[in-house]
Amino acid sequence: MKKIILTAAVMAATLAATTASAQSSLLDEVQSGSNYKNTNFNAQVYQIDDDYDTVAAFTANVQVNDALRMSAQLDTEGYMEVSAGYGFAFNNGIYLEPYANYGKTDFLDIYSLGAFSGLAITEKLMMFADVSHQWRNGRDIGDVYDASSSNQRELLTAIGASYDLLDSLNASYTFHYDNVIEDGGMKNESDSRTSHEINLTYSGFGRFEPYVQYTTGEYRVSEGAQVSNEESVEFGFNYRF
């Protein structure tokens, strides 16, 4: 049970800091005591548009103590993000983590407040949900760019399940439903959108955990990108220090 709760903590960090929902099984050392400190490094490679531009993103998640998590992300498009969360683990197998994010591009400041929750159903099966409120504020760049046209508020929700197919192979499914609450004038995005993610993570290499993720629907490949309606396959890995 403790292993699944700690797995939920890493999933919360991943959902808060990156679009990938690759997970770490956290393996044996997390069950050896009540004090848990871990640094998790994540790298992704994905395509951001129809021109097949390849983007790499790098995320570091630091579990400062049993409850406090901090993370930072940078991608090759110039998107940067920092995140912090505070987790609560309950005896009935529930994990809850409120979190806050700040991200920036050349044209946007992105603020998010949200909460992630995971529920251990069995030793192999976990259900999870994530809800966040996001503010996307445009930046004025002289006379070139009208910042107000890109101001938006969005409510982002996700629900899914994670299952250990084997001791070293985890599969997860995530359903996303996002709703545009306020639109600053950009009419190329619908008021609501849905997307689906399927993720496979292999943990048989010890600290190095490769994964592959398939996404379809209306979604942002990264938080700094425009909404896309294309299928994508993402490759990446987690590395735990």
Asked whether residue 155 carries a pLDDT value surpassing 90, the answer given is yes
DSSP class per residue in 161-201: EEEEEETTEEEEEEEEEEEEEEESS-TTS-SEEEEEEEEEE
pTM of the predicted model as reported, rounded to 2 decimal places:
0.80
* Model confidence pLDDT, tens digit, residues 170-224: 999 999 999 999 877 555 556 889 999 999 999 999 888 899 999 999 988 777 7
- pLDDT tier at 145, thresholds 50, 70, 90: low
Going by the DSSP 8-state scheme, the letter that residue 222 receives in this structure is S
Q: Given the structure tokens 């808060």, which residue do they identify?
A: 16
CATH of the domain at 202: 2.40.160.40
DSSP state for residue 12 in the 8-state scheme? H
Strand-pair partners of 83? 71, 101
Spatial separation of the C-alpha atoms in residues 241 and 7, rounded to whole Å: 15
Contact assessment for residue 27 and residue 10, using Cβ atoms and an 8 Å cutoff: no
Cα 61 from Cα 82, distance rounded (Å): 10
Backbone angles phi, psi at 202, to 5 degrees: -110, 125
Q: Over the stretch 55-73, which tens digit does the pLDDT of each residue have?
A: 888 999 998 888 899 999 9
The residue with greater pLDDT, 65 or 39, is: 65
What range defines the domain where residue 176 resides? Answer: 2-240
Higher pLDDT, 45 or 20: 45
Assess contact for 237 and 42: CB atoms under 8 A.
Answer: yes
The confidence band for 19, taking pLDDT boundaries of 50, 70 and 90, is very low
The total domain count for the chain is 1
